[in-house]
Structures are given as structure tokens and as C-alpha cells.
Structure 1
Amino acid sequence: MVNSRNSIQNSIPDDIALQIASSLEVMDVCSLGSCSRFWKELCGSDCVWEVLCKDRWPAIAWDQKSDQKMDSDSKGWRELYIFKHNEMAGKAALIHDFVERALAYESIEVGNYLKAIELLNSLHFGFKDVEMFLLKPKLHVLLNLVGLHYCIICLGVPVEYVVEALNQSQISERQVCVQWWKLGRWFYGFRLRDELHSRSITLGDLAAYNEEVLGVLHRGAIHEVIRVQISIAKPMHSSWSQQVAQV
């Protein structure tokens, strides 16, 4: 039997094989590396994992000696990627814990919601970190929302990329309800009752085009808005839905 390594080497030049491996996502690299000894050696090489590190964490100055680099002269890029991934997983656990503690009856006040966004920013999460640790169907939908908001508003990720990530994770149809109260208007010397506004919306629609709700979430309780509350959307009767839509 012809050795599989020689067979592959004869059919695919090493530089082409390296280009193939370097163009894959991390899970695909790991899968390809389990196919044969040839692919295992190639997919474990520093040049492949260096690309993966720099692609996932582009904000890090990898060319400088720093704690983030972990002295890559002595540690391979694959080991560095694993170390950094585990570090981000630990940070993600902090976000999960914070949001879960802030939840009250399946809702969260906008002050705590924005603190979760600030915490994400302080922990230097990238888009792919958010995809891996926050945009998952098994998590609470408000964690999904925090990740979505952070990517669009703080990271400036193009909307189409966020929508694609939601679709791939199969969470684009999950719904949240955002309610906000505005101070009642003054009318002939009397202040009218505070106005309640309520919007139930899917994550996909929110990411794609609903600037009103994202704007309310990003600004929080300021000026005429005295309170903002976010919760899981609950089914409503059609007549009530029509009334809310007219608010």
C-alpha cells in the first residue's frame, strides 16, 4: 500500500496544502489534522496557528514582547492559541455570572445591561470571542443580546457579519422585549402620565435594521427616558399586539 503521506504530497504541493490549511477556521483545522499524519503535522505547524491567533485577536500587538505573547519563541503558536482561548473562556464566565446575577424575574434593567457591555469591552473581547461564548442557543437570550449589541455598537462589526453569525448559531429568531418609560409631557401646566413604549423583536431583525431599539439600549435611562427594561419576549394576543405597535 502506498504511504498516505507520500500519496498526498505527490498530489498536492506543500505550499498549496499550507494555503488550504491556513484558510480554514480553527475547528476545520483540527478536523483536517485528524485525517492523516501528513495533515496532522501540517495543521499543527506554527505558520497555520499564527494566522489563527492574529485573525481571532487582531487588536493584540503580537510582534511585541508581552505577556499576551507568552514568549512565542519558546511556546508554539498552537499552545498560545489554546492558552488564550482558555483565558477568554474564563472571562466569558464572568459575563455569564454577571448577567445571571443581574436578572430579576427574567428581565434586566438597562443600567446592569450596559455594565455587561462595559465589562465585555474592558476584557477586550473580539468578534470571534463573542461568537464562541455569547451567540449560542443554549445561553439566555439576554446574553445573546449583550453580544449582539457589543459587536455592532462597540466593535463596529458590519451588520451582515453579525446577522450571518446569528443565523449560523440558529438564534436569529429568538425574541426579546424592550420597554422604556418616558416622562409625561407638560400640557397647560400639568404633566401627563409617563408614556410606556414596548417593542418585541427578534435578534435577527434587531441586528438588521432596528436602530430605534438599539438606540434606546445604547443611551439607557437619560433625559426624558426614566427607565429601560429588557426581558424575554412573551406571546401576546393579537389585539394587544396591535395596541402596543401603535404606542
Structure 2
Amino acid sequence: MEQPDSIQASLPEDIALRIASCLQVSDLCALGSCSRFLRDLCMSDFLWESLARRRWPSLDLFTESSLVDHGDSSSSKGWRDLYVEWHTEVAKRAMLVAQHVEQCLFSDSLEIRDYLKAIEQLKSMRFSFGDVEMFLFRPEVNVLLNLIALHYCMLWLEVPAEHVMEALQNSKISERQVCVKWWKLGRLFYGFRMRDESHSRSVTLQDLALPQENEVLGVLHRGAIHEVLRVQISVFHSTSTSWSFPERASL
């Protein structure tokens, strides 16, 4: 029972902060529940500002928080409050993207216009790679949502392939499969139009993170333009779908 006091006495605060700064959010919250000293330590603005700026490097969190705060002054908030507030807002936005995909599904398939609209939603919502890992690289959501997130990370956020691969493996979704089909306008042959060409590829998410699968990602990125008449993305194996996302629970 005396252990918390002994930790406080033997460990300088700057060293304790340095150690705590190496933790993930969930681990930091768990540590803060161990004692009053550790709770105060883990509420430090130093720690939460670092976590917030690391997860959302392109956002001005004070400005962004004022957009979801219904007029309250965000300047009086600590960095932990801002982190929780923006995390909750991102969870709501992730749910909107998931609902869009769910509503557009037909027989476990998604047309390219709806697929690209979901990516545009992620862009407009300014999802970070950390947001994607937390909300969209999850085994309990539809694999097509995993694919949308993968495409967004690689071609819009330009996350290095090795980082995407690691995230897929850590989330246990790297072996999930999708089927991409596209139809191309038939070629002209001596003045005659030949039959339209049908192409189909079944690939894992892990495969799509590799350079040799740039053809499939390229088809998805361009959509139905020029000679490509239609693109359809399907679930390779029918799976149950759950659109639940963590909000404050993971904090």
C-alpha cells in the first residue's frame, strides 16, 4: 500500500514524465488509475499536448475544438480535454463514413462512385493515419471500409507502405480479401468494336500495400473514366458487419 508514495519519493517528476511520454493513450490512462501521484502525473498537459500533436499534426486543435464546442471558450481547456473532445468528434465522423458505405452496399458490393465518395469524406474530415488505425483498421467492420481506409492512407496521406503493412498486421486484418472487377471498352479492330473486356482480381489488403498491386489501386483511384466503363468492389467472403466505434472507452 506504500508503493505509490515510494515511487513519488524515489522517481523525479521529470524522469517520470519522460517514461510516461513513451506510453500509448490507453496505457497512460491505465497508469493514471494506480495512485493519486500517477493520476496527477498522467493528466499533465506536457503529455497530452504531445499525444494530440502527434495524432493530428495538421490540425490547430484549439481552433478545431471551438467548431464542436457550441460556443464555449476552448482556451480554458487542458490538452487532455481537447484530446478527448476531438477523439469523440472523430468517432462520430467515422460513423458517418461507415453509414454511407453500409447504405450503398448491394449484395456485399460497392460501386466505384460510392467508394470514391467515402474517400472524399475522409479527406474532407481530415482523418489522420492514427484515426484510421483506431476507427477503420478494425476486424469487426466491413472489409470494404478497411479497403477505403487503406486506399486513403496510401494515395492521399502518402503513408509509407511499410507503416501501412505494420498497421494492417497489428489490427489483424492484413489477410482479409476483396474482389475488384472492372469493365473496359472493347478495342477497335479493323474498324469494328470488339466485345467489352472484363477484368477481375481477388486480393488481400496486405497485397494491396505492395508495389506490385499498383494496377488494382490505380483502377480504384481513377474510377470509371476514359476506357473504363464500370468498377465494382466486392467482399470476397460474406462477413457479418458491425458499425461500432470506440469513443471514450479507449481513453
Name the TM-score, length of structure 2 as normaliser: 0.88
Give the alignment partner of residue 80 of structure 1, picking from 82, 85, 88: 82
The code of the aligned residue for 1:228 comes to: V
Alignment of 1:1-247 (within 5 A): 3-62=2-61, 66-68=63-65, 71-209=73-211, 210-234=213-237
How far, CA to CA, are the matches of 1:186 and 1:144 in structure 2?
A: 38
Distance 1:44 1:231, change over 3 A: same
Structure 2 unmatched runs, 5+? 239-251
The code of the aligned residue for 2:134 comes to: M
Root-mean-square deviation (Å): 1.7
Helix, strand or coil at the partner of 2:39: helix
Greater relative contact order (Cα 8 A, min sep 6): structure 1 or 2? 2
CA-CA distance at 1:44 after TM superposition: 1.2
Do the aligned residues in 2 keep the contact of 1:32 with 1:43 (CA within 8 Å)? yes
C-alpha distance after superposition, 1:111-169 (max 9, x if no partner): 11001000110011111111111110000000000111101111111111111111011
How far, CA to CA, are the matches of 2:17 and 2:228 in structure 1?
A: 55
Larger Rg: 1
Identity over aligned residues, as a percent? 59
CA-CA distance at 1:220 after TM superposition: 0.5
CA-CA distance at 1:9 after TM superposition: 2.7
Do the aligned residues in 1 keep the contact of 2:20 with 2:28 (CA within 8 Å)? yes
CA-CA distance at 1:170 after TM superposition: 0.2
The code of the aligned residue for 1:18 comes to: L
The code of the aligned residue for 1:113 comes to: Y
How far, CA to CA, are the matches of 2:163 and 2:64 in structure 1?
A: 31
C-alpha distance after superposition, 1:181-212 (max 9, x if no partner): 11111111111111111110000111123111
CA-CA distance at 1:4 after TM superposition: 2.5
Moved segments of 4+, more than 4 Å = 69-72
CA-CA distance at 1:67 after TM superposition: 4.4
CA-CA distance at 1:16 after TM superposition: 1.4
Q: Which range moved further: 118-127 or 70-79?
A: 70-79
